[in-house]
Amino acid sequence: MKADDTRTRVLEILTAIAPEVDPNRIEGAVPFREQFAFDSVDFLSFAIKLQQSFGIKIPETDYPLLSTLDGCIGYISTLEPVRPVEPA
């Protein structure tokens, strides 16, 4: 999957969980929690939806790597799907 496609899907998931977020204003290297209200429940929902959407398994120990948009894109690009990807 191309980085642009990954970015688009990550932003779709993010805005589904936090609809107040303007995806055009998210800074790639700045943690989500510093940019908008994103509590631990939101983050857990985000991690679960990433796994479902991309067909990957993300161990909890890797969750800190998902704290920024750039981190999410970089991390997801290193993984192979463990099951067929569900439609977005």
At CB < 8 A and 24+ separation, what contacts does 18-27 make? 18/42, 26/69, 27/69
- Please give the pLDDT value at position 7: 94
Number of domains in the chain: 1
Q: Say if residues 13 and 48 touch (Cβ distance below 8 Å).
A: no
CATH code, domain carrying 43: 1.10.1200.10
- pLDDT, one tens digit per residue, over 36-46 is 999 999 999 99
Residue 82 resides in a domain? no
Residue 54 resides in a domain? yes
- pLDDT, one tens digit per residue, over 45-65 is 999 999 999 999 999 999 999
> Which structural domain, as residue segments, surrounds residue 54?
3-77
- Please give the pLDDT value at position 13: 97
- Mean pLDDT across the chain: 90
Residue 87 resides in a domain? no
Residue 85 resides in a domain? no
pTM: 0.85
